[in-house]
Chain A
Amino acid sequence: MTQIAMPQPDPLILAKRERIIAGLQERVPAQWVITEEDERRPYETDALTAYRRLPLAVVLPGSTEEVAAILSFLSRERVKIIPRGAGTSLSGGALPQEDAVVVGVGRLNKVLDVDFANRTARVQSGITNLAVTTHISPDGFFYAPDPSSQLACTIAGNIAMNSGGAHCLKYGVTTNNILGVRMVLLDGTIVDFGGETFDQPGYDWLSLIIGSEGQFGIVTEATLRILRAAEGARPCLLGFDKVEDAGACVAAIIASGIIPVAIEYMDQTAIRICEDFAHAGYPLDVAAMLIVEVEGADAEIDVLLTHIEKVAREHGARIVKVSKSEAESAAIWKGRKSAFGATGRIADYLCMDGTIPTGQLPYVLNRIGEIVAHHRLRVANVFHAGDGNLHPLILFNANDDDELERAEQAGNEILELCVEVGGCLTGEHGVGIEKRDLMEKQFTSVDLDQQIRVKLLFDPDWLLNPAKVFPLNLHPLPLGRAA
């Protein structure tokens, strides 16, 4: 593969590899500096395995201070740095380069402090998203953003990508749930942004850092807003014979004045794949299904679900099935959250992530079908419908180069379609390497230059997670576009 070009490794850096490794070993115990080719290999990719680059070395620091020592050393040596969490990025966000050192935060996985009175939790950034909730759930609390990958992905990765999830319809995405971060700058300075209060004086650094895709610094700690869980939650399944009806039903539920905690969409292919894994009782004979979840006490839930059922029936829902037990609810969500992985049982896939205005759902779903068919491929659609964040999974055979190329082509057309109807290239997975070259479809070069100028403030030499987010021809800022 592939259509996306990577820069040539810098021979000067490759030439001083030994020295770089020695420098790392002076700053971090040698067992956490990974140098053998065999051992670097598993770090060559993330969850977008079509792209692979063997890093120069991998280092796994055990404290913020070690991160600081590493960064100041590497930046002095002008070595590129690839921050890494759990490597579940679907946009190639954690893809290394041959002349870069991967700095992984997997060992920084502790909860530092939970303050229930102020509803905050301070954690190390390498902790997994779900581990935070598991830690505080005995006290009835949870951390709201719930990417489907929450079992595995880290808070660090979530911050870098501004990750979302099914329940973000009600609770917002990562940027709405972080109060503070501790970040190490390239020169090794350790800076705290934000804090424990609701808002911060001065510029809104968190807005900039959250979603900066590892290009500003390495985040080692974060203060999270935690919430008290509702008394109960119950999902229901709505089955439709027509894809368009399901799309229209989403808008109708919201327009009726109810914001469920989640509205998730699955088409027939996705339903079958997930049911096979989770045995959640999904209806297999419908064209599309919505999982709609509401929260509250039992009586409140009943009222809301009755209302939703009415709206759904008016919009052509043939099946309305409400979860009857916690086990059933858990299975329903397990199926949904495992959708991507479970798809691996039948094929390789490319996962798209565009967002569209929900009013365009019926049209866009149709067009996606046409685009994929035109490229002689299949698609499974499973996504966050409430906020229009699509995840068409383009199914293909990774051992067939031609199919991969067609799949990528189809993916690009789908994303362009999203932009065309007023949406965007990525709703939660980030630009990474994957959508880098499409950025000019959504932004003018003036827009992108403004973003780049912010990047240059943190990283004037493009050392942090380079070759991502911005098309290569835009960095470094050419003369005439002077910073």
Chain B
Amino acid sequence: MSVSSLAPQNSLEVASIVRDAAARRQAIEIIGGGSKRALGRPTDAAITVDVSGLSGVTLYEPAELVVSARAGTPLQHVTDLLAQQGQMLPFEPADYRPLLASTGEPTIGGMVATNLSGPRRLHVGACRDAIIGCKFVNGRGEEIVSGGRVMKNVTGYDIGRAMAGAYGTLGVLTEITFKVLPRAHATLTLVYEGLSCDRAVALMSAAVASPFEVTAAAHIAEGNHARTCLRLEGFDASITYRAGRLIEDLAEYGQPQRLDTAPSQVLWREIGEARSIIGPADHVVWRLQLPPSRSAALVNSLRAMMDVSVLYDWAGGLVWLSHAAGDDMTAVRTAAKAGGGHATLIRAGEALRRRVAPFEPQATAVEKLARGLKQAFDPAGILNPGRMYAGI
């Protein structure tokens, strides 16, 4: 069966495509910018639906801290628009094209579907936390509204937020509304050098547990060039004061270098994009989430088994890790699980991704519910089937 490609221009067209596909039980692969198609389990779809035609910002009220955009709107377009008003998406979405060696233009819909968040997630929450409303087309071809455009809203279940991280398996997003934040007047990064992973995690932990509002904390573990970075944001007087207090309180970790606004921005963009661990194209990349205090021990145990490159973000709560494709593919996940966390296989060849589940397998009771949830949104099972888990 040949794959047909469709490019709807509005939500009505999306709805009618889905309705037809549902009637014929034909699987649909949803494509935003296609920059992350290499993520997750490969799907075998009869139809690809390119939603990049659903584009444009539909509402932006800087004084109310809200922005709404159609799902196919390029992420860059939204961030530029916000920047003009001195605002930003709080969770600092990153560009994974270098990591995934992909092309295409990342979209708002793809960002939400993958619940992508960068370094500031530590301080202000994930992409899902910034969603205050969305519209989507469910697997029956019905356009559903959830949430709205106001900051606080508990009217009905929060099903819109649950679209985040669902990889398009519950619905085709058509429009999303976010809470935005003012950009900081200035940024200062304190960079500590040469710390071991254990010491770095201890440092980040202490920094985050201080009252000085560290908005990002990462450790780039590159052998002798290890750098541990703490970010402060705000107006000048405030960050100067906070930096002073932090350096004093953390004196046992040495004297940090200071990076001011411009170099800080470059540094944190690179950390967000996980540049330091990209490595050769045949290396696989994992993304682990752990209780921060356990991350260093886990990495040490893996190091004893294989050669890994590692980047810690979110004060240790997020670990990016790459190793050669030939290495033991079960080690990372087993270790993550034992440490109270979970691992996602972010980059691997298609054959590997068919063999090794990209997402952490779920507990039986949860898996049963997940099937039920899929059924509740997409009874014919046509939206990105198998993208996250087999049968979902």
Contact = CB atoms under 8 A, between A and B. Distances in A.
Given A198-B318, A199-B165, A453 B376 contact: yes
Contacts of B289: 197-199
A173 B161 CA distance: 13
A120 B181 CA distance: 25
A180 to B, nearest CB: 11
B149 A357 contact: yes
Contacts, number: 243
Interface of B: 61-66, 86, 115, 117, 121-122, 125-126, 128-129, 138, 142-146, 148-159, 161-162, 164-166, 170, 181-183, 185, 205, 208-213, 234-235, 237-238, 241-242, 245, 289-293, 314, 317-318, 340-342, 344, 359-360, 362-363, 365-366, 369-370, 372-373, 375-377, 388-389
Contact of A201 (B86, B205, B362): B362
A429 interface: yes
Contacts of A193: 366
Interface in A441-483: 442-444, 446-448, 450-451, 453-458, 469, 483
A195 B340 contact: yes
Contacts of A483: 376
A357 B209 CA distance: 34
Contact of A203 (B121, B157, B165): B165
A15 B269 CA distance: 67
Interface residues of A, number: 91
A430 B148 CA distance: 15
B150 A356 contact: yes
Contact of A427 (B150, B156, B183, B213): B150
Contacts of A199: 115, 117, 126, 128, 165, 289
Residue among B209, B235, B245 having the largest count of chain A Cβ atoms under 10 Å: B209
Interface string A192-216: 1101111111111101101110000
Contacts of B366: 191, 193, 202, 205
Contact of B62 (A117, A255, A299): A255
Contacts of A446: 142-144
B112 to A, nearest CB: 11
Contact of A231 (B66, B121, B211, B290): B211
A118 B154 CA distance: 29
Given A422-B150, A469-B156, 10 more contacts: A117-B205, A191-B369, A198-B121, A201-B342, A255-B63, A359-B63, A435-B155, A450-B146, A450-B377, A454-B373
Nearest to A422: B149
A9 interface: no
A384 B152 contact: yes
A207 B158 CA distance: 6
A388 interface: yes
15 contacts: A118-B292, A191-B365, A191-B369, A198-B121, A200-B342, A203-B370, A205-B366, A208-B162, A228-B211, A259-B65, A300-B241, A427-B150, A431-B154, A443-B155, A457-B375
B204 to A, nearest CB: 11
A202 B388 contact: yes
Interface stretch (A72-80, A160-168, A366-374): A160-168
B125 A176 contact: yes
A455 B156 CA distance: 11
A196 B326 CA distance: 31
B182 A259 contact: yes
Contact of A357 (B150, B154, B241): B150
Contacts of B157: 208, 211-212, 451, 454-455
Contacts of A284: none
Residue among A115, A196, A386, A431 having the largest count of chain B Cβ atoms under 10 Å: A196
A297 B242 CA distance: 9
A426 B155 CA distance: 5
A211 B62 CA distance: 27
A444 B144 CA distance: 9
Contacts of B181: 259
A426 B159 contact: no
Contact of B162 (A161, A201, A204, A389): A204
B158 A210 contact: yes
A426 B147 CA distance: 11
Given A204-B128, A454-B376, A252 B154 contact: no
A203 B209 contact: no
Contacts of A195: 340-341
Contacts of B375: 457
Given A195-B340, A196-B340, A201 B359 contact: yes
A42 interface: no
Contact of A162 (B146, B154, B162, B293): B154
A355 interface: yes
A296 interface: yes
Contacts of B341: 195-197
Contacts of B165: 199, 203-204
Residue among A118, A164, A252, A355 having the largest count of chain B Cβ atoms under 10 Å: A118
Nearest to A439: B156
A363 interface: no
A303 B237 contact: yes
B180 to A, nearest CB: 11
Contacts of B208: 119, 228
Contacts of A173: 152
A419 to B, nearest CB: 9
Contacts of B66: 357
B153 A443 contact: no
A451 B156 contact: yes
Contacts of B342: 197, 200-201
